[in-house]
Structure 1
């Protein structure tokens, strides 16, 4: 049995263990957090959302298994092609996407709905790792680095139109990859400045057009949520936040859930705030975890993500392949940073945003894209591939 498992589940067994724990715990929490909503929408069937989430988790595990069996160097060529498609995809999303939560983030292609930001993040990280890996043994030239900086700024700026927090997460992830890839400091700071500048320009333009009656992007919403969080009238309009939208409601309800949880929680399935906290099964699932399992359970979940990050960084030391090492850093950091943004917001350490908790929040294609990323990381940890294909892609 042990030999069979080693043959079928290759790569870092500790990452496999982390995936299993988070997935199993996710089933319990999502069932509790979604049961009230499922009862209202599914005619009393409180298991409907649980069944849907379980199916997506099983599909995700299948995706992880399939991806980890593939030579990860094959993704370099595919991502290079997709990189040229991503700007068009983001434009298509903005003009023809499906509106969810007041913004167009979802698109439907061949009957499959997904957030374009999930694909963009995966493609940019893979491309950045491949581009840097090809130049680990040669001196960087300005043209190459300016090309990398351009793509980071372009895609992060376009993402900021509809998804500010994801744009920030992606920009920081790109910075970390370039830092690990030993990019000269002057270009690192140029990259950071270009990405920040692109995001600020997009948000400023959005706010400017909003004040003139033109609906473009989420700049005004971002500003209002920051105002609500800091309780400061940043734009001097004598209104803090949005008078027609209570940007503190979710935070207040999450704080009540956390206060009820205390040290050991009120028990699995006994959440009271799930009846009042919007998006309790996705954007605010960590607050439900604290309520039911207390700070003890919350720390365990936080530790699992830190453990995942540690294994991602540890596997960099265990491989002499630049592409694989940079992929591990980029993909694991992206997942873990998203998790911590989610957790910090849930406990009131940041303004309201729409970041889910990877592998734990209820979702469809978001789980699958996260599974693709983890599958690629596991493929790297097998340590049995030749990166000659990456070097050939020039």
Structure 2
């Protein structure tokens, strides 16, 4: 018999079904994102960012020593702490962009392309000169390089334009995209920025190939591109100087010579973290030539591993796109992967004296807030376009691309 004053409550069966956070039963926005995102691709990017922080820490003492003088005295790890702050800002941006639905990501990129094309046009008027070239806008830490942000937005916008041909064969998408490229190339050459012009042109050609443009078109475009390079060599002093320095070792080759000497100074296994000496003679050791610092302190084997990581990212994306049925998603993701791989390839080739100096950063490894943030946006878009519903299965190898 129950004691007086004690109220007996009705007992209900307990629901034992527990939704595990980030488990397959978690239908929250973050839970869905976790299962849809390419976690292998994300892990490879995180490895690159970690390697980049280590490399900037190794290069920072040399850069701080070079740029200190008079009343300005930088701490040895000055650039490392600044890069760490930029990584802390860029990671949430990358993850946030990767959560966007495809349609929202496409609109975001198109708006971004318009904004940064306008910003690129303003560079000759209000730009800031850095290392002899006017490529930046802003003041102090607020400076940014419009061309860095424009690259991923241009790729996605170009993919959208080319994908419209699948809906209407009569649309002149190739001439339209060519006009857009010509506009951007003209703005870049005014800075001057020959290297970025080549990157934009390479991305355009790659997307034309993927969209199935005829071989006659491609042959004509390759010929036009070669003619443009020859014209730049003949009539554009910056291009003439860079190409002559590379082909004939004319003029000032100190940077590329010192970069190669630094790269090979450590042999296969390197001098160890902080043990490099040649890096103190290397200009831009923390940015354009950080790959050489990695070679000196961590060895040529480490350089080869980094190159393989870049290759793995590009191959991972293209393999994943083999079963992609949407033409826009295919072109956008393939274009972003191509842009990422070409930029890494050019930087490493310059350090190995296989290409003329371009003033181009090594993705996610070189120091630079503008570069890091722009790469985070681009990789966020790539992660957004490669997301997959884990509950759906696709027939393999449904995508057919190529020129006719």
TM-score, normalised via structure 1 length? 0.83
What is the distance in 2 between the residues matched to 1:308 and 1:187? 30
Q: Choose the corresponding residue for 1:159, options 180, 183, 188.
A: 188
Q: State the distance in 2 between where 1:354 and 1:167 align.
A: 12
What do you get for the CA RMSD once the two structures are aligned? 2.6
- Residue of structure 2 equivalent to 1:264: 269
Q: Distance in 2 between matches of 1:7 and 1:64?
A: 17
Instruction: Establish whether residue 15 from structure 1 lines up as the match of residue 41 from structure 2.
Output: yes
List gaps (5 residues or longer) in structure 2: 1-20, 390-404
1:108 is paired with a residue of what secondary structure?
coil
Q: Is the 8 A contact 1:257 1:287 kept in 2?
A: yes
Report the CA distance shift for 1:66/1:254 in structure 2 as closer, same or farther (over 3 A): same
Secondary structure at the counterpart of residue 365 of structure 2: coil
Aligned positions of 1:162-311 closer than 5 A: 162-194=192-224, 204=234, 207=235, 219-231=236-248, 240-241=250-251, 246=252, 248-311=253-316
Equivalent pair of 1:153/1:198 in contact (CA under 8 Å): no
Task: Check conservation: 1:153, 1:191, Cα contact below 8 A.
Answer: no
Cα distance change, pair 200–85 in 1 and its aligned pair in 2 (3 A): farther
Aligned residue pairs: how many? 359
Establish whether residue 48 from structure 1 lines up as the match of residue 78 from structure 2: yes
Distance 2:124 2:146 in 1: 10
Q: Is the contact made by 1:149 and 1:191 (CA closer than 8 Å) also made in structure 2?
A: no
1:29–1:269 Cα contact (<8 Å) kept: no
2:232 and 2:239 in contact (8 A); partners too: no
Corresponding residue number in structure 1 for 2:125: 95
Q: Which moved more, 1:128-137 or 1:281-290?
A: 128-137
Residues 162 and 174 of structure 2 are in contact (CA less than 8 Å); yes or no, is this contact kept in structure 1? no
1-side partners of 2:75 and 2:135: how far apart? 29
Counterpart selection for 1:71 from 96, 101, 105: 101
| CA distance in 2: counterparts of 1:123 and 1:191, whole angstroms | 23
| 329, 343, 347: which one aligns with 1:342 | 347
CA distance 1:81–1:258, change in 2 (3 Å): closer
Larger Rg: 2
Deviations 1:300-328 (CA, angstroms, capped at 9, x unpaired):
00000000101121221142221111111
Q: Shift of residue 184 of structure 1? A: 2.3
Indicate conservation of the 8 Å contact 1:83/1:127, yes or no. yes
DSSP 3-state at the match of 1:350: coil
Which residue number corresponds to residue 174 of structure 2? 145
1:34 equivalent among 56, 60, 74? 60
Aligned to 2:17: none
* Alignment partner of 1:113 is 2:113: no
Cα deviation digits, residues 88-134 of structure 1 (max 9, x gap): 43331123211111111011299832112113322221111111222
Structure 1 CA distance for aligned equivalents of residues 117 and 32 of structure 2: 40
Query: Mean Cα displacement is larger for which, 6-15 or 266-275?
Result: 6-15
Q: 1:88 to 1:109 in 2, by over 3 A?
A: farther
Q: Aligned to 2:144, what secondary structure does the other structure show?
A: strand
Matched position secondary structure for 1:105: strand
